[in-house]
Structure 1
Amino acid sequence: MAPVPNTEFDYREDVDPISGAPVIISVPKTVQAALDGIPYAAINNIAELFQPDRLREAWRLLRRNDPFDYQLEIADAIIYSCINSLGWLFVVMISRQAGKNEISAFIEHYLLLYGYVCGIPVSGVKFAPVHKPQVQASKDRLEGANTPDGNGLAGCTLTKNLWKAADGYKYHVGPPRDSNKWAFLSINPSANIASQTAFTLLEGDEAQDIDTNKWEKDAQPMATFRNATTVFYGVTWTKNCHIEKAKSQAYDMETRLEAELGYRPKLVFKVDAPAVIRSGNAFYKKAFESQLARLGPDHIAIQTQYLLNAVDTIGKYFTKEHVARMYANDYRMRLGPDPKSVYIFSVDVAGQEEGITEIEDVEVGCHKRDGIALHIGELQLDGTVVPVCMYQWVGIPHSKQREQILAIIKHWRCIGGAADATGIGEALAYYLVEKLPNLEIEPYKFKAAGDENKSKLGYLAYNYVTADKIKIPPKPQNDPQQAELWEELKWQIENLVRVAKKQQSINFHVPQNTAPRKIGHEAHDDLVMALFLLIRAAFIIKNPNMRKAKAIDRNDVM
């Protein structure tokens, strides 16, 4: 029997739409090569398809590609538990874009066809935290397409004329009935889960983001009636996320089963990026090594999504190495523009204090409330950002302060920037947009969609730091005010804390109980927030070289 080539993929870098975390997207090139080698002739009758030693042929027939060995091993173990009603708990942790959904879709397809051919009641329910894209992606993967190179229920010769969709979330092989269906539902904490029963298999996708209480209350009981198998798919996140809890439970079950059966069944599968590469996926190797080189091994996305190492829920945002790399340079701060350089700006806005204080009345960092922070940064041709001047005002009404901010931006001949447009900052941000129509200015709303925008900003800043694209000059020696702001920014960077939240999103702040850097000092994060917004400004201005050519246009704005 001729070997069937693996499906080839192109891999490209992208970002997660919810959290902003860097991810890899896989795009199939073609499955025609696999189609040419599918061994239809090797199966004499349909019953042979369900023999354990024919699992690879079954995969080739249903999915129209050849599985990697780790995919087949996982599918074999889960199907064994399902067909024998063993009720085992599996945890499948797989590096991003390494074929997790292919495994799940094959198992679902296989079991539905098995139930139809053998006349055995089969049903399953698959949950994911978010309907779009997670639930929808699972449905699409099972359904497939009735095309020359399609697979799934619609593309497989055996099921293309048998399958039916119903109610927008269920699939059947054969006449629609409760005992021969697969249902796909969202399990976000506010979802009203429809009453379903999983005779055979209960699945939880992206299980690191599942709410444990919601699962135990509404989902797990669906597996009770016929002792269905449970499987959780995903990567890891924090040490107390749902998939980590399930992993501990699965290891405990392995121990119990070993005493009962005399051997230890494998219920926890951990396939990290190096394991995927060892399987022979040369395309994945190139994509992962590119991510690793760009982000570095300590990046939170590399550690959790590709190396499958859980992180602490709360931890320092930047390592000592990150901080050292930011400050390892020989640039210098300035009080005015260099005609040969390109400048951008950022503004972080805080509320106004009840008792108005002028910046001269209080030392930097000793005011109770965050001030307005304005950063000016040099934007270099390779995208590197160098903060060259900082400003801060405390307690001054925004209506008075905005004219001074406008004058400073003009003084530096900035080509664009980012301004905090959350809450009270919205008026100032849109004032700058109105007064500087020829500049590329983004009003950035941190609370536009929960904390999603803040998470995206945090990941962006993290990416710039790990790529050595943010360089803070040494402390200025001849300007006491800039020197004090420099000290405050460094303290905020060193004490910034990351908080890991659901769906790989992150929050960040400087805790109020952080040890002060001097007597009377208060914990703030206004300068580091302005730094992150400066990075955002650099990100939205893609080609600073072309911007330099528009000096006349910038003069018109002045």
Structure 2
Amino acid sequence: MSALVDQIKALLRDAVTFTDKASGIQLRAYQVAVVRAIVESVVYHRGLSIVVIFPRQSGKNEVQAQIETYLLTLLSELDAEMIKVSPTWKPQSLNAMRRLERVLSRNVITRGLWAKERGYIYRINRARIFFLSGSPEANIVGATASTLLSVDESQDIEIGKYDKDLAPMAASTNATRVFWGTAWTSRTLLARELRAAKLAQERDGQRRVFVLTADDVAAEVPAYGEFVKEQVQKLGRSHPLVRTQFFSEEIDAEGGMFPAARVGLMKGDHRAGACPEAGKVYALLLDVAGEDEGANAGAFADGSSTSGGTAGLSNDRRDSTALTVVEVDLSTVEDPLLRAPTYRVVQRRAWVGVKHARIYGEVRALAQSWGARYVVVDGTGVGAGLVSFLDKALPGRVLPFIFNQSTKSSLGWSFLGVVDTGRFKDFKHGDSSEAYDLQALFFEQLSFMQYEILPGPAKVMRWSVPDGTRNPATGELVHDDLVLSAALCGVLDDQEWTISGPALVVRRSDPLKEMDHGF
């Protein structure tokens, strides 16, 4: 027995050895540095505030569970209390508890020692770890972290929640605080603590900051590098999700959505067209404005008016119902990484204040003349009527899209993925002055598009031309109808496309879900 005790004591002298021998897990070099920094801060009562930013799915959660298991064992003879906070109870806290249970049960030392209490507390003898939710509505006041306060996915914890309810848990004991997460905006709790930790690190030389990129992980795990390469091909290196989730680059919480570099990717070298070309596939994308029978009742569908002007193109107006006709280039579906179409704009239409009955007739005729494979229609509010009539006229071809905060956010992320991979192209040569006018209006709207990323784990993005925006050069109101119409190509990414032979399924799910593969 004494020999066994001596062996256990020997293992407990080093967290990395304990993990290797007792859990059977060999930590990677980038994980070892994090483990040692956290454990030493706890053991030597340094009370450091440590920030750990790992790329998505690079082993952050596994190393957390191994640290928790080691500290529960090491401190089992002490009244040590640790607190682990996640942004939500379900699924994040529950997942964290299941992960710890798995490690505790497989570790040869802890498998018969640990116990679970009250559904959210894990104990080895006198040492405990409490799992709590950091959601805004969670009532967690009163808990104390005597040893360690671990804040997971801290980019999704509201700063006010942390300052009011979480920070006091470690204040009286000067417990070690660890902020885990992936990079997001510069306004998050993680970003704030990163800046503070960097300053403290510069002052005393004690390492507190661990920021890794996908390249760092790929150096040890080549398969991870291949996985990230695939994501970059799908979304583009400049896509906000790629920059933050894989390369640990902060993005602004708000700003211009289409900088010059992104707009440059949208410029093609093809011609616009007044009619379809044989052998090509087309789709229509329709953003629907409210119906106003009195406004501009004489406007034609191409934007011209009965007086011969361009009333339909004036910016001093309400939003138009905007239509974008795209050629669906299926050659990129065969690309082993992209596996998705390219969309080439060949025509636009805009109707202002025109009755929906008339718009229905013209869209139906356009869909038939272009042989549209799909017609994506904004079915929000008054658009529901158009969807219903078009679906009856074009059975199996109409794809309704309902705008709300969540779906518009997802569409925005999807559209950025299309653009950043070079799969949205506008024409270089128009076939009429109206085509050039609408194209100029589209690029003007792009230049005024703003985005705002809301706090929280859902990563909701608001994006639009802010209400009341005017072009300072002309004084005219700027809208975003043509941009929203173009963005509906993101819906096409979710469809099945046939090249020649078997159907290739192209289902562009939530990019964040596509990224969830463990390494």
Unmatched 5+ stretches in structure 2: 300-304, 332-340, 504-519
Number of the residue aligned with 1:270 = 211
Amino acid aligned to 1:50: L
Number of the residue aligned with 2:384 = 426
Number of the residue aligned with 1:386 = 344
Distance 1:135 1:418, change over 3 A: farther
Cα deviation, 1:278-319, whole Å, max 9, x if unaligned, reads: 3x2222222223333444432222322222121222232233
Secondary structure of 1:196's counterpart equals: coil
Number of the residue aligned with 1:521 = 476
Number of the residue aligned with 1:368 = 317
* Residue 454 of structure 1, aligned match among 408, 411, 423: 408
Unmatched 5+ stretches in structure 1: 1-40, 145-151, 259-263, 549-558
Amino acid aligned to 1:458: G
Amino acid aligned to 1:268: V
Distance 1:407 1:167, change over 3 A: farther
Matches within 5 A, 1:398-477: 398-439=356-397, 441-447=398-404, 451-477=405-431
User: What is the alpha-carbon root mean square deviation over aligned residues?
Assistant: 2.6
Secondary structure of 2:271's counterpart equals: coil
Distance 1:434 1:122, change over 3 A: farther
Cα distance between partner residues in 2 of 1:357 and 1:539: 36
Cα distance between partner residues in 2 of 1:229 and 1:474: 59
Number of the residue aligned with 1:58 = 18
Distance 1:88 1:353, change over 3 A: farther
Cα distance between partner residues in 2 of 1:408 and 1:462: 27
Number of the residue aligned with 1:48 = 10
Q: How many residues align?
A: 480
Cα distance between partner residues in 2 of 1:255 and 1:483: 55
Amino acid aligned to 2:169: M
Aligned partners of 2:34 and 2:210 also within 8 Å: yes
Please report how far the alpha carbon of residue 105 of structure 1 lies from its aligned counterpart in structure 2 after TM superposition.
0.9
Amino acid aligned to 1:276: V
Please report how far the alpha carbon of residue 221 of structure 1 lies from its aligned counterpart in structure 2 after TM superposition.
1.3
Cα distance between partner residues in 2 of 1:273 and 1:43: 41
Please report how far the alpha carbon of residue 234 of structure 1 lies from its aligned counterpart in structure 2 after TM superposition.
0.9
1:304 aligns with 2:244: yes
Cα distance between partner residues in 2 of 1:134 and 1:199: 23
Number of the residue aligned with 2:31 = 71
Cα distance between partner residues in 2 of 1:393 and 1:527: 11
Matches within 5 A, 1:143-154: 143-144=101-102, 152-154=103-105
Aligned partners of 2:266 and 2:424 also within 8 Å: yes
Matches within 5 A, 1:82-481: 82-116=42-76, 119-144=77-102, 152-174=103-125, 180-193=127-140, 195-254=142-201, 258=204, 264-278=205-219, 280-329=220-269, 331-353=270-292, 355-358=294-297, 359=299, 360=305, 362-382=311-331, 383-439=341-397, 441-447=398-404, 451-477=405-431, 479-481=432-434
Cα distance between partner residues in 2 of 1:509 and 1:465: 16
Distance 1:356 1:192, change over 3 A: farther
TM-score, reference length from structure 2: 0.85
Cα deviation, 1:42-62, whole Å, max 9, x if unaligned, reads: 9942122221xx322211245
Please report how far the alpha carbon of residue 378 of structure 1 lies from its aligned counterpart in structure 2 after TM superposition.
1.2
Number of the residue aligned with 2:488 = 533
Cα distance between partner residues in 2 of 1:396 and 1:201: 64
Number of the residue aligned with 1:36 = none
Cα distance between partner residues in 1 of 2:317 and 2:352: 9
Amino acid aligned to 1:397: K
Number of the residue aligned with 1:9 = none
Cα deviation, 1:103-130, whole Å, max 9, x if unaligned, reads: 21111111111222xx111222211223
Cα distance between partner residues in 2 of 1:62 and 1:507: 48
* More deviation, 213-222/364-373: 364-373
1:495 aligns with 2:448: yes
Distance 1:386 1:535, change over 3 A: farther
Please report how far the alpha carbon of residue 92 of structure 1 lies from its aligned counterpart in structure 2 after TM superposition.
0.7
Identity %: 29
Cα distance between partner residues in 2 of 1:181 and 1:442: 53
Amino acid aligned to 2:159: T
Distance 1:435 1:165, change over 3 A: farther
